[in-house]
Amino acid sequence: MAAQTRVMLIGSPLTGSLKAGITNTKVPLGLAYLGAVLEEADFSVRILDCLADYHIVQRVSDDTYRVGTSAIGIEQELKVFRPDVVGINCSYSMYEQDSFDVARIVKKIFPETLVVFGGAHSSASPESVLANKDVDVIVHGEAEYTFREIVQTFAKNKKKSALNKIEGTILLDAKGKVKKNEERPFIWSLDELPMPARHLLPMEKYLKHPLNDVGIGKGPATDMITSRGCPQKCSFCSIFTVWKRVWRTRSAKLVVDEMEHLVKEYGVKHIRIQDDNFSLDTKRVADICDDIVARGLDFKWDTPNGIAIWTLDEPLLKKMAKSGYHRASFGIETGCKKTMDQYIHKPIDYDHCKKIITACKKLGIFTVSTFLIGFPDETKEDIQETIDFANDSGLDFSLFYVAQPYAGTPLYDKFKKEGLLRGNQQSNLINPTYDTHHFTGEELQKMQVKAQKNFIRRKIRSMTNPFYSLPWLFYHLRDTNNLHFITKMAKNFLSFKHISFFNKSHIEEYAYDMPDKEQPEQEELTVIQPAKEKNNSEEKISLNVLK
Ligand code: B12
Ligand code: SF4
């Protein structure tokens, strides 16, 4: 009986500014984990990741684009599969409406189909999500077992009311009030979970995405997760709304099994570990590195979502480098001690940071860190401390952003309490619109762009100094992968693409044409420029940054 129940998991299209990276499609690991567990339970599963149709970009208004499968395309998929249950990913606060749009399509065609929402935003803002009448139930936090139980229960009696008591769910009670059921305990050993069901996804599309190999040497690259959660308390970070402040892992052996699978099955040459805190257990990291070397696996890896710099030391970095660690992305976030103590709370010692950055350089590991400016009461001097630290740190690259108050975070509460929210909707990391006590959103954005440009200018200048560049090249040019990476980066520097990335007026510069065979066939799926600007012409647009 279970095998007849059809479950469709949908990653919605995204509508927003192209500068926010909405064409930057990556494997939706959350949906793939859910799919794997449902398949194990013998349900018929289909994943529709609308963003895998990243070549379908429709201009909605001046600076707003919709990326992904068209509404008609989604309808067609639904009509073919005829799902009993649809799970819709709603991870991003700023793209909540996109998930609602998908739910509306589902209910329009199949009013009896159960619509389940999940993901970071659904967990952080259940009231906002359940205010939409097309959403039947939310899974709060980790969803594999909760979602499986929802499907099992619904498969038996097809009644929404039967879901009332399922652990880990949030739904409306008979009076229309938001009812949060008991929380489901975490899956303590992630080894219990199967590998994510990548076979349900169009892996070729992700591997061939024009931006897939940005920031790495040789591709193709793909993503994986080896742990869940993070115990830190950064005020701007919303991951605790899904994972709380606990940290759980897959064992080193299973991590390397998955890496081996990616290398052998998909020909992957680079793996991005998307963990929030990969290195909390340094013994596990060392074991993973040793096992990669022992199995003779030939790939590079990095940790683009950040590696906790305070957990690193030179012996561990040596093992990491030996096993193919390509680039360390740190989240140092601020160079201002006051901001660190008030908003970030990471155990960061700036001297240790500089030591680790130097050690990375000597081992041929590239370094980058994110920096945030624009916390509610940061002054110009505070922000300057961050800029100065980034410039003097020895990092190969720094990325500056304006801090964003995501729903559910302490930073959001602070913005709200101090009357700084003012209903700003379109704010994101690249196009911030929130004002603080000292600056407007526009001023902060200007400071961000300036800091970024200055960092790059200084870097280019230091690369023309042989006392800096020759040792740097000596350490980094140890393998062909690094040579490949440096050549790519040099091309970008010379074409100044990195600078334009932060400049709103340059979007069109990055237009690229997808290969003809990738172009959509139906009229509804083409990219449409507004008549006033493009003289009624149709045109293919997409974004190509730091390629
Ligand atoms: C990798 C990643 C990305 C990747 C790819 C995302 C992808 N395809 O999944 C990229 C780099 C593209 C990305 C981009 C952005 N990201 Co991101 N990303 C992540 C990250 C680090 C890991 C996601 C992941 O794979 N997790 C592992 C899987 C197993 O977990 P999961 O996806 O949460 O899924 C589980 C549950 O949430 C739930 N679940 C998820 N979906 C569904 C659906 C249903 C139906 C159900 C029932 C359950 C469910 O079940 C899963 C299994 O338990 C998370 C942080 C995190 N640790 O989760 C941030 C995170 C999701 N990103 C975030 C943000 C803000 C963004 C951006 C908006 C940043 C920006 N540019 O401004 C963009 C938006 C997307 C875009 N393309 O522009 C925020 C979201 C916060 C919020 N409330 O909005 C997070 C939580 C990070 C944070 N520190 O706050 N991101
Ligand atoms: S260390 Fe990273 S993942 Fe952990 S709370 Fe801070 S920002 Fe979030």
Which CATH number fits the domain that encloses residue 313?
Answer: 3.20.20.70
Instruction: Determine the structural domain holding residue 512 and report its residue range.
Output: 508-546
| Residues 367 and 462 placed together within one structural domain of the fold | yes
pLDDT < 70 stretches in the chain: 1-3, 423-431, 493-547
| Residues 290 and 149 placed together within one structural domain of the fold | no
Residue of minimum CA distance from atom 1 in ligand 2: 232
| Residues 357 and 482 placed together within one structural domain of the fold | yes
Q: DSSP of 291-316, one letter per residue?
A: HHHHTT---EEE-TT---GGG--HHH
Residue of minimum CA distance from atom 3 in ligand 1: 26
Structurally, the chain folds into a number of domains equal to 3
| Residues 420 and 332 placed together within one structural domain of the fold | yes
**Distance of alpha carbon 210 from the chain centroid:** 17
Q: How far is CA 471 from CA 203, 351, 392, 468, 474, in A?
A: 39, 21, 17, 6, 5
Q: Can you state the angle between helices 441-463 and 466-476, rounded to 10 degrees? A: 90
205 sits in the region (left: phi over 0; alpha: psi -120 to 50; else beta) called: alpha
Looking at residue 521, the DSSP 8-state letter turns out to be: -
Nearest ligand by distance to the CA of 347: 2
Measured from CB, residues less than 6 Å from any atom of ligand 2 are 230, 232, 234, 237, 239, 276-277, 306, 331
| Residues 486 and 513 placed together within one structural domain of the fold | no
Query: Residue 444 and residue 401: Cα distance in Å, rounded?
Result: 9
| Residues 340 and 436 placed together within one structural domain of the fold | yes
| Residues 406 and 437 placed together within one structural domain of the fold | yes
Q: Is residue 536 part of a domain?
A: yes
Ligand 2 centroid distance, CA of 333 (Å): 10
Q: Which atom of ligand 2 is nearest to the CA of 230?
A: 4
Q: How far is CA 417 from CA 237, 426, 435, 441, in A?
A: 18, 20, 14, 18
What is the Rg, in whole angstroms, of the alpha carbon atoms belonging to the chain? 23
Residues 6+ apart with CB under 8 A from 146: 139, 140, 166, 167, 168, 169, 184
Q: Is residue 212 part of a domain?
A: no
Residue type, 171: L
| Residues 519 and 433 placed together within one structural domain of the fold | no
What pLDDT sits at residue 479? 83
Q: Is residue 200 part of a domain?
A: no
Q: Which atom of ligand 1 is nearest to the CA of 92?
A: 84
Helices (H), 195-281: 203-207, 240-243, 252-266
Residue type, 466: P
Q: Is residue 451 part of a domain?
A: yes
Structure tokens at 494: 């010379």
Q: Is residue 107 part of a domain?
A: yes
What pLDDT sits at residue 429? 64
Query: Residue 9 and residue 352: Cα distance in Å, rounded?
Result: 44
What pLDDT sits at residue 91? 92
What pLDDT sits at residue 478? 80
| Residues 513 and 472 placed together within one structural domain of the fold | no
Query: Residue 186 and residue 348: Cα distance in Å, rounded?
Result: 29
| Residues 516 and 490 placed together within one structural domain of the fold | no
What pLDDT sits at residue 301? 98
Q: Is residue 197 part of a domain?
A: no
| Residues 230 and 153 placed together within one structural domain of the fold | no
Q: Is residue 501 part of a domain?
A: no
Which CATH number fits the domain that encloses residue 32?
Answer: 3.40.50.280
| Residues 241 and 120 placed together within one structural domain of the fold | no
> Torsion over CA of 155, 161, 166 and 169, rounded to 10 degrees?
110
Nearest ligand by distance to the CA of 8: 1
